Chain A
């Protein structure tokens, strides 16, 4: 497994900066622990990772390995015990308002229409509602949601709600998108449809994305790079570059290279997964 040239060592991460452009996201040696009832709970241990401008990066790791904590650190809701976090070269430790976020549950505001949900981040940033709504309508038409501009979230299916939540993140004025297992609550069929939808949309617009997922296949299908995290306290076990050309289709999943990578990653994850207690 380790002889594979595609699996680069985690240490190589820092040498990847290209052309002097700052990374969309750079995490340096971030550590984090919480005070728990049974003493200190060490969640993150010297996690370093980068997302280049326009790069799609996934994080996979065992459940409860602190992936969501990682997002709360990057989003500025929590401060790391140690380490640095930079978004577009700017230090953002403990500062909110630098990233665009899509949570696991769509968390659309039920009192807002679809278009008013989509413009929320722009509204917070101070864009005029009228302008933002016009843009929202274009986007909604673009992703097959025209006719639903004035609908309320409860009138939409789960997949449609996630599309709206994705658009809400996409229309945020902040370039870097954090997607926290956005498809985990969907059934398998809807999920694969949403993956296709996301690949297509992302390949047309190329935002910088950090994507948390449990699914190795989903990570391989969508990403340029994948970070594999260990059990708690989470360390970066490996950074994997995904070599497949874009545009990608689901047919990729049956290629030999894809299957080999999937098996390698799966073995790596199993090797760190604690036995069920």
Chain B
């Protein structure tokens, strides 16, 4: 935090001393002033992006988890589908966006598809890895005790995979805001992504920085919510860190 404040201070002093034009590099104070003046419009855009991010992240995380839970117990299906999961990450989003708009129109749908595509992957991979790394001794214990497949999953594999699964969720939460911004670059009239495109066209560098600050804050908020949830669910590890 101290390093961050020092960075802001140096930036401010640097801009003031060197006299760089505002359209090249605005100072932190300029950016704050612009954000305050532009408050209500900015809020509308921010809320639109937040809504899209939450829905997209929710759908993406759900798809990732369900896919992992489906593939884990069926090894041949996992072998068949896993390469496709990896291929899904090699498709450039920028190329995909216009296609999705042709297929799904201009509403929420194509945007949610984009965010889902970005978010499901880290969740699915982390969950599959976590499930595959189940402790062998515990697994043998459960099986000898006569546990059914469902009992194995709910009483051992899932709780055992939770820490790994949350690593995936945290990565996905961080990516979710960026992917929402990208999805807003086309075919919308609200959202921070749209706002950025507008300001870029108008060469409003200061407002571009405002947008960046909003994106960073949204990403931190998403990450923070997931981490809070992790702390509640993985309560047994909390004492380790004391």
Contact = CB atoms under 8 A, between A and B. Distances in A.
A105 B155 contact: no
A96 B140 CA distance: 10
A103 B236 contact: no
A103 B137 CA distance: 7
Contacts of A120: 145, 155
Contacts of A76: 143-144
Contact of B145 (A109, A110, A124): A124
A11 B44 CA distance: 87
Given A103-B137, A120-B155, A124-B151, A111 B145 contact: no
Interface of A: 72, 75-77, 96-101, 103-105, 107, 109-112, 120-121, 123-125, 152, 154-155, 172, 174, 178
A51 B118 CA distance: 58
Nearest to B135: A107
A107 B141 contact: yes
B239 A154 contact: yes
Contact of A124 (B142, B159, B162, B240): B142
Given A75-B144, A109-B159, A123-B155, 11 more contacts: A77-B143, A96-B144, A96-B145, A97-B146, A101-B141, A103-B140, A109-B156, A110-B236, A124-B145, A124-B151, A155-B239
Contacts of A100: 145
Interface of B: 135, 137-138, 140-147, 151, 155-156, 159, 162, 234, 236-237, 239-240
A152 B151 CA distance: 21
A32 to B, nearest CB: 16
A96 B146 contact: yes
Contact of A109 (B138, B140, B237, B239): B138
A98 B145 CA distance: 7
B145 to A, nearest CB: 5
Given A107-B135, A110-B236, A155-B239, A124 B140 contact: no
Given A111-B159, A111-B236, A96 B143 contact: yes
A107 B137 contact: yes
Contacts of A105: 137
A152 B240 CA distance: 11
Contacts of B146: 96-98, 124-125
Nearest to A121: B145
Contacts of B137: 103-105, 107
Nearest to A95: B146
A200 to B, nearest CB: 25
Nearest to B235: A111
Nearest to B142: A124
A152 B239 CA distance: 9
Given A152-B239, A154-B239, A155-B239, A107 B143 contact: no
